[in-house]
Chain A
Amino acid sequence: MRIPELERDDVLLRRAAKGDEESFVLLYRRNQAALYRFALRMTGNAWAAEEVVQDVFMTLMREPKKYDPARGPVAAYLFGIARNRVMKHLERLPREVSLEEQQENGAAASAATITAFTPAHWAEQQERSERVRAAVLELPAEFREAVVLCELEELSYEEAAQLCGCPIGTIRSRLHRGRALLLAKLEMLRDVPRRVSAAK
């Protein structure tokens, strides 16, 4: 479905720059979820993801003229800002994952899927998700980014390379390394309960 001319992101941004609040809100609503998910998957922290999204749109509000339509769509521009903020956050802080946050992050989204599974299935899925989440968050930032973009956001190599501003080969190799590390970490995590039960 084609978006009408007046509701295109760049048109909305132009109108928002002139003070049209509704255009700004529409632009925000259209892009916030993808940015929030990316930030959440990268940081594993709901507060950090929230801060990233807010920062992105504050930047857009302050300097709307920094966006250059010749360099790509507004969504990619916003994603670029979000990526920078996430990287800064990861550099600045040690990884923070609290159980409460993890549950908070997953609770709203998984509520919809509860009805489709039995409680046992749901509990198993939750456990597996937590394991993978922890493993993903332990990956180095660039490998994590490749895994998040290609595996969780389901972007193509080309799209991921464009967003990260690097060649496709780099994304491919980062993803390969990321997968290897992820597998290793998942194996490690899986071994812990086994070792515990073996010890008992």
Chain B
Amino acid sequence: MKCEEFEIIGLERIGRLLTGLDATQSAAAEHASTCPRCAALQESWQEARAALQDLRQVTDAAEAPQRVEMRLRQEFAMRHRTMKARSTAIFAAWPLPTAALLFAGVSWWNWRVSQHQRALLATETTLGVKTVDSVLQRNDGAAADSTLVADNDAGDFTLLPGNLPLEIDDAAIVRVRMQRGALGALGFPVNEERVSDWIQVDLLVGPDGQPKAVRLPE
């Protein structure tokens, strides 16, 4: 072994590996026994190593002061509390637009349903009117254009013969145009001279589609 090799490898091996001798260690020890310079270097290094060991021992139990942990804990708590508050605020901010959206959706749905129901009702009423018309036409053949009366005012209806008073809520009021003579078929007295006049009549149509009462609005 040469002095350069001893400095790089041998010194390290001699210093570090205390158990068992390998070829390098033997060669280093042999070199140190023949070279006074390397022997002195080895001695100095062992002394320095011992001093380093002392330094290591002195600082071996050193730890960061407790205040560092305290500061870190405070920072951690603050950071995560802020994050939690922010996420809560974000979470809490959601229900408002969600509620508005939900309200709009429900309103739209209700509007659609009511539209649908109204259309159905109109169809049913038309069917009812047609039934009334057909009855009237069957009876007299004089009934003509009929319209659904918007107002639900019970007014002065005269019950048709053979009918009992009924709730206005269960009935529909239908305005029809017919010849005066057709009233005779419903059991009313008719002036023979004006039998061919066209008049408007409100019919109170029951749930069974049959006219229950009649009213002369004019």
Decide if A109 touches B69 in the complex (CB within 8 Å): no
Contact A19:B59 (CB < 8 A) given known A25-B69, A33-B64? no
Q: Separation in Å of the A112 CB from the closest CB of chain B?
A: 6
Q: List 10 A-B contacts (CB under 8 A).
A: A19-B83, A25-B73, A32-B63, A33-B64, A49-B64, A54-B64, A109-B59, A113-B58, A182-B48, A183-B48
> In chain B, what residue has the closest Cβ to A182?
B48
Give chain B residues whose Cβ lies under 8 Å from the Cβ of A126: 58
Q: A33-B64, A58-B75 are in contact. List 20 more A-B contacts (CB 8 A).
A: A19-B83, A24-B73, A33-B63, A41-B55, A54-B64, A61-B72, A61-B79, A108-B61, A109-B58, A109-B59, A125-B54, A128-B54, A133-B55, A136-B52, A151-B52, A152-B59, A154-B56, A179-B45, A179-B48, A183-B44
Decide if B45 touches A53 in the complex (CB within 8 Å): no
Instruction: Report the bound CA distance from A49 to B64 in whole Å.
Output: 8
Which of the listed residues A106, A112, A179 has the most CB atoms from chain B within 10 Å of its own CB? A179
Instruction: Report the bound CA distance from A19 to B77 in whole Å.
Output: 8
Instruction: Report the bound CA distance from A51 to B181 in whole Å.
Output: 112
Q: Contact residues of A with B, CB < 8 Å?
A: 16, 19, 21, 24-25, 28-29, 32-33, 35-37, 40-41, 49-50, 53-54, 57-58, 61, 105-106, 108-110, 112-113, 125-126, 128-129, 131-133, 136, 147, 151-152, 154, 172, 176, 179, 182-183, 186-187
Q: Separation in Å of the B114 CB from the closest CB of chain A?
A: 50
Chain A interface helix/strand/loop/mixed: helix
The one of A32, A136, A147, A172 in contact with B68, judged by C-beta atoms closer than 8 angstroms, is A32
Decide if A61 touches B59 in the complex (CB within 8 Å): no
The one of A29, A109, A154 in contact with B62, judged by C-beta atoms closer than 8 angstroms, is A109
Give chain B residues whose Cβ lies under 8 Å from the Cβ of A151: 49, 52, 56
Instruction: Report the bound CA distance from A37 to B61 in whole Å.
Output: 8
Give chain A residues whose Cβ lies under 8 Å from the Cβ of B55: 41, 129, 132-133, 136, 152
Decide if B76 touches A21 in the complex (CB within 8 Å): yes
Q: Separation in Å of the A101 CB from the closest CB of chain B?
A: 12
Chain B interface helix/strand/loop/mixed: helix
Q: Separation in Å of the B135 CB from the closest CB of chain A?
A: 78
Decide if B58 touches A186 in the complex (CB within 8 Å): no
Give chain A residues whose Cβ lies under 8 Å from the Cβ of B73: 21, 24-25
Instruction: Report the bound CA distance from A43 to B44 in whole Å.
Output: 25
The one of B8, B58, B68, B83 in contact with A50, judged by C-beta atoms closer than 8 angstroms, is B68
B194 within 8 A of A: no
Closest 9 CB pairs of A and B: A109-B61, A19-B80, A132-B51, A36-B64, A53-B64, A33-B63, A106-B58, A32-B64, A132-B55
B218 within 8 A of A: no
Decide if A29 touches B59 in the complex (CB within 8 Å): no
Q: Which of B68-120 contact A (CB under 8 A)?
A: 68-69, 71-73, 75-77, 79-80, 83-84
Decide if B76 touches A37 in the complex (CB within 8 Å): no
